[in-house]
């Protein structure tokens, strides 16, 4: 099978849009609401999930034929937990401030339903390369939504992006005030609902 056959391309590209894990499958919602008050932690969380999803898919795919069916979930959890621990330690070493912002949510990647869903539905029945592309695509699809919501919330809630002031001081002089609601989890749920609504209205008109 070619490295980028039609099936492999679909495994990588579909999760970015038509089969997005958040917009279409409605998975990974909890962390999407919790870590998107600012853009930086949203980006880091998205990249962490992408790396873990891609490599856990590869590992499970490589050993799938040796895993007894009755303990496959346990094996999957062990693989994911190991990768999550590695990523957590790397964040603490090189991006400690972001690690503190993400708090327990990095550890909770272990129970992220996107991860477990891809391992069970795809990696257990496919070869390593397609499994890697599937994990990469689903991770990037998840990260994309986190970045969109995080950027919107930080811009209108704080007037900044990645900590840099975006809204000019002159705008505030005219009476503009940052929307404090944008920094609250409830607004994340509303924004995410709006993104899902727009996506489905645009891509599923016939349905």
The pLDDT value given to residue 205: 59
The overall average pLDDT reported for the chain is: 88
What average pLDDT score do residues 166-180 get? Answer: 87
Q: How far apart are CA 91 and CA 80, in angstroms?
A: 16
- Find the helix packing angle between 113-121 and 128-158, rounded to 10°: 160
* 131 vs 204 pLDDT, higher one: 131
The pLDDT value given to residue 139: 93
Tokens of 195: 């993104």
Q: How far apart are CA 35 and CA 117, in angstroms?
A: 21
Task: Give the residue from 74, 76, 51, 69 showing the smallest Cα distance to 132.
Answer: 51
The pLDDT value given to residue 123: 92
């Amino acid at each position: 099978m070619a490295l980028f056959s039609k099936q492999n391309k679909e495994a990588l590209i579909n999760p970015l849009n038509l089969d997005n894990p958040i917009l279409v499958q409605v998975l990974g919602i909890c962390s999407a609401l919790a870590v998107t008050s600012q853009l930086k932690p949203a980006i880091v969380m998205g990249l962490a999930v992408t790396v873990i999803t891609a490599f856990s898919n590869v590992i499970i795919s490589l050993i799938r034929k040796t895993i007894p069916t009755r303990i496959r979930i346990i094996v999957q959890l062990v693989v994911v937990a190991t990768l999550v621990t590695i990523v957590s330690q790397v964040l603490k070493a090189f991006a400690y401030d972001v690690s503190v912002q993400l708090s327990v949510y990095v550890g909770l990647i272990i129970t992220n339903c996107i991860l477990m869903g891809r391992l069970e539905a795809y990696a257990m029945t496919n070869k390593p390369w397609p499994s890697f592309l599937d994990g990469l695509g689903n991770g990037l699809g998840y990260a994309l939504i986190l970045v969109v919501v995080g950027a919107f919330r930080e811009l209108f809630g704080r007037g900044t992006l990645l900590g840099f002031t975006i809204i000019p001081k002159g705008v505030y002089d005219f009476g503009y005030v940052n929307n404090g609601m944008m920094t609250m989890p409830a607004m994340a749920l509303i924004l995410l609902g709006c993104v899902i609504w727009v996506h489905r209205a645009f891509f599923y008109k016939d349905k």
